[in-house]
Amino acid sequence: MFQIDQCVMYKSSGVCRIVGFEDKCIDGINKTQYCKLQPLFLDNSVCYIPKNSMPDKVRTLHDKEHMDSLISKIPQMNALKIDDSRKRKLIFSGVLKSGDCEQIMSLIKLLYEEQNARLSSGKKLNFSDEKILRDAESLIDQELSVIMGVEPSDAKAYIKEKIKTA
């Protein structure tokens, strides 16, 4: 299913290129085949994932039509509001780790709405929410930039423009 030079979404590192498959003996006894991934947007970084766990951690990139469809749904998305900060952080982190673009976009929408509400009263998002927002935007921007062959900043502008016309 996965091939060398294929770009994939690795749930915790963003868009990566598969650079090879290697047998490794981590525990000193059993050899396991690992997939070697190189994140496209992290310099000098490499990830190794056991090949048998790839279906749970890696997915193929969506196509542009699918991403456009999700982007067009953003204005109608219902964002889940959670007041308990610990529970909120766990749920938001889980959304990021899931790699589910629709949930990530819904999360971004919620945090944008919250950011705008707080700015109108002279406040900022708390640090944890700001980090989650940056990470969520990065995952979506990375995938869209690779699909479209543009820079992540251009992908962000593309999303904003699509939302305006939706």
Instruction: Return the H-helix or E-strand segment holding 32.
Output: strand 32-39
**pLDDT (average), residues 78-84:** 77
Query: Model confidence over 19-52: pLDDT tens digits?
Result: 999 998 888 888 999 999 999 998 889 999 999 9
Name the pLDDT band for 74 (thresholds 50, 70, 90): confident
The values of phi and psi at residue 87, to 5°, are -65, -40
Both structure tokens of 76: 């109608």
Give, as one character, the DSSP assignment of residue 78.
P
Cα dihedral: 152, 155, 157, 161 (round 10): -170
Domains along the chain with CATH numbers: 7-60 (2.40.10), 64-165 (1.20.58.1290)
Residue 10: strand pairing partners = 14, 58
Model confidence at 166: pLDDT above 70: no
pTM of the model: 0.87
Query: Model confidence over 137-160: pLDDT tens digits?
Result: 999 999 999 999 999 889 988 888
**pLDDT (average), residues 124-128:** 90
